[in-house]
Amino acid sequence: MTDEPLLSVEGLTTEFDTDNGVLTAVDGIDFEIPRGETVCLVGESGSGKTVASESITRIVPTPPGEVTGSVRFDGQEITSLSESELREIRGGRIAHVFQNPQDALNHCYTVGWQIVEAVQTHEPDTSEEEARERAIELLNDVGVANAAARLDDYPHEFSGGQKQRVMIAMALVTNPDLLIADEPTTALDVTVQAQILNLLEELQEEYSMSILFVTHDLGVVAQIADHVVVMYAGKVMERGTVEEIFDDPSHPYTRALLECLPGQARSAEGIPGTLPSPIDPPDGCRFAPRCDYAVEECTAGDQPPEEPLTDTHAVSCVHYQQGYDPSTVKTEFTQEDGTVTGGVSGD
Amino acid sequence: MGMEWYIVRRVAWAAIVTFIIVTITWGLMTAAPNPQVQQAVTQAAMDGENPAEAEERMEAQLQLDRPLHVRFMDYVVGVYTLEWGWSNTRNQPVTAALVSALYYTVQYSVPWTILTVLIGPIVGVYSAANQYSWRDHAATGVAFFGYAIPNFFFGIILLLIFGVQLEWIPIVYQTGVPVFSVQNVIQLTIPIFVLVTGSIGAIMRVSRNEAAEYANADFVKTAKAKGVSTYRIYARHVIRPTMVPLSTTMVGYLLAIFTGSSLLVEVVFGIPGLGRTLYDAVVAQDTNLVLGSTLFFTFVATIGNLLQDLVYTVLDPRISFEDR
Ligand code: SF4
């Protein structure tokens, strides 16, 4: 194993050609996923986090989408790969789990058929029986009770949580290095959510995978993340380790998100305003129209460059540039019960 | 349980439906004045005999003097034992007339159905896969053309071009040629082409729209993320769910064309098939043959609907049989 991150993304941009103009869903983002660790991509819906996660192996539809920038996976540039080379990576070394397990499995085929398809796509020589054996093992592994008997059941005969387990089993078929999980628990009941999160943490150990976890839920982030990348309107606002993000949140957007957590000052109303249009984004900082600390410089030029705070922590806000005072944005957090703190505890 | 029981019930229902239809036709036929009796009465009146006596004699001869329930039973037994009476114009049993007509109808219906069922969904799904490309637009254009132009009119035009002008095909259908011969293929090409263009448009549109919906489904994204090729995604993941609503549309639609357009096409091209037989029987007032052809079309429709429902249940595993 080397020190080189498993995945490093630079200037990743995803644009869609629409009738109303070019929609820039992801606007030149950088991030890295260290080996064996979990990186959370956080943001409101519409922030571009899902599109970013689906641009890595280019499963966003192209056209109308167009993905540019650099994605290095295990030392190899994968943006220049052909579609058939990418297919080997998809579901091979990089696997996906999606948000809505209700529709993520094809209702016309048994779950066994769909897992066997995943096996045989990547190992065409595997016989039907072997593939089924493997499917049973995997289903056992992800906690589907009575796996052998359930193999020939159709998706509608499974509960939402079980379907998500099936999806996870299907993702593990090839023992991937990276699992990209897009809001895998959002559509599930709270108790099931916790089970699936625990399962993912266990499997990460067992299969020594890295995980890119896409979510809007900071509670989930606190539970599973090693690193956090905060996205807003297609741009990265702040990045850091999970401790840095929760104990020393520095970007006004990150701080606003944290204030919306249960028990915090804004838990009831959320952040006022809405996301800017991805077709014609505002000049300067994308967050400026909703930011409490916006100054004149925030609305000119492009998104402020990322200012490093530590080796791992960086923030894109003018108040961290030379000649500004970061303490203007680092006001204290007021909790609902009136307690005042400098950060939000990670757990 | 479940599916088997459902199939049993569905078949039983189809049998009941045909019985109801048979009963209604019998009711209509019994209520209407019998042409043979009327003829005898008219004849008697003209010959100066007693019309009432002649009526009784004719009714006795035709066994119409028996009680209604006996006649009904007789009729029903006759229908199910394929004793459909005598065709006066053809001078042969109705069943024999129908069988010989069927022989010609099958020759173009089978290739027509196969071509429609194969080409329609494939072109539709292909269009969906290449949405808004020139190929999609071309397919849409062909679909609307076939849909909009009346079959018989299109048939006449083609007959004028290929039969009269170019003399590539015989103007009048040759009944003498063997079924599996080049001449037969040549003379059936145009009628089949007319029918296929007429039926394929709707099938293409339905399958294109359904497939386009499924092409954006989450499970298609899952398949793509698994590394499945685009071809396989369409051939397996998209076509299968598309066939569910399509099977419903398709059977009904083909049946409608079978009973409607096939008649026009047979008349235009002079094919002595079922549609032509029904047409001639109506014109010549051959009651038994009209009834026989109608019953035949009804049976085809009932069996078609039955098949459609069975296919539907096989294709979509989510259907619960308990509450149907
Ligand atoms: S750059 Fe300006 S608008 Fe953007 S977050 Fe910082 S203070 Fe707010």
Global pTM reads 0.74
Please provide the DSSP assignment of B151-197 as one string. HHHHHHHHIIIIIIIS--S-SS--TTS-TTSHHHHHHHHHHHHHHHH
Domain chopping of chain B, boundaries = 3-88, 93-315
Cβ of A104 and B223 within 8 Å?
A: no
- Spacing, Cα A288 to ligand 1 middle (Å): 5
How near does any CA of chain A get to the CA of B85, in Å?
48
Query: From the list B222, B227, B318, which residue is nearest A156 (CB)?
Result: B318
Residues of A in contact with B227 (CB under 8 A): 87-92, 118, 121-122
pLDDT at A192: 83
For ligand 1, atom 6, which residue shows the shortest CA distance?
A317
pLDDT at residue A148 is higher than 80? yes
pLDDT at A205: 87
Q: Is ligand 1 within 6 A of the CB of residue A324?
A: no
pLDDT at A39: 93
B218: nearest CA partner in chain A: A104
Nearest to B299 by CA among B9, B19, B106, B101: B19
pLDDT at B324: 43
Domain chopping of chain A, boundaries = 101-173, 251-341
Q: Which residue has the higher pLDDT, A65 or B34?
A: A65
Least reliable range by pLDDT among A141-150, A210-219, A322-331: A322-331
pLDDT at residue A6 is higher than 90? no
Rounded to 5 degrees, what angle do the CA atoms B225, B227, B229 make?
Answer: 115
User: Could you report how far apart the first and last alpha carbons of chain A are, in Å?
Assistant: 31
pLDDT at residue A214 is higher than 50? yes
pLDDT at A337: 59
pLDDT (average), residues A193-218? 88
Q: Which residues have CB under 8 Å from B141's CB, separation 6+? A: none
pLDDT at A180: 92
Q: Is ligand 1 within 6 A of the CB of residue A256?
A: no
Asked if B132 reaches chain A (Cβ–Cβ under 8 Å), the answer is: no
Q: Which residues have CB under 8 Å from A113's CB, separation 6+? A: none
Cβ of B229 and A117 within 8 Å?
A: no
pLDDT at residue A22 is higher than 80? yes
Show the low-confidence residues of chain B (pLDDT under 50). 322-324
What value of ipTM does the predicted structure carry? 0.82
pLDDT at A86: 86
Q: Which residue has the higher pLDDT, B35 or A283?
A: A283
Residue A292 CA: which ligand 1 atom is closest?
A: 8
CB A179 within 8 A of CB A171: yes
pLDDT at B323: 45
Asked if A106 reaches chain B (Cβ–Cβ under 8 Å), the answer is: yes
Fold of B93-315: MetI-like fold (1.10.3720)
CA B31 to mean position of chain CA atoms: 28
Q: Which residues have CB under 8 Å from A33's CB, separation 6+? A: A5, A6, A7, A8, A39, A178, A210, A212, A227
Residues of B in contact with A187 (CB under 8 A): none
Asked if A104 reaches chain B (Cβ–Cβ under 8 Å), the answer is: yes
pLDDT (average), residues A131-140? 88
Query: From the list B227, B316, B317, which residue is nearest A90 (CB)?
Result: B227
How near does any CA of chain A get to the CA of B113, in Å?
25
Burial class from Cβ neighbours inside 10 Å (0-12, 13-18, 19+) for residue A340 reads exposed
Grade residue A346 by pLDDT with cuts at 50, 70 and 90. Answer: very low
CB B129 within 8 A of CB B215: yes
How near does any CA of chain B get to the CA of A81, in Å?
14
Residue A253 CA: which ligand 1 atom is closest?
A: 5
pLDDT at residue A84 is higher than 70? yes
Cβ of A167 and B222 within 8 Å?
A: yes
Residue A318 CA: which ligand 1 atom is closest?
A: 1
C-alpha distances in Å from residue A127, one per residue of A79, A120, A123, A167, A185:
32, 8, 9, 21, 33
Tell me what percent of the residues of chain A surpass a pLDDT of 90: 7
Q: Is ligand 1 within 6 A of the CB of residue A228?
A: no
Distance CA B222, CA A4 (A): 29
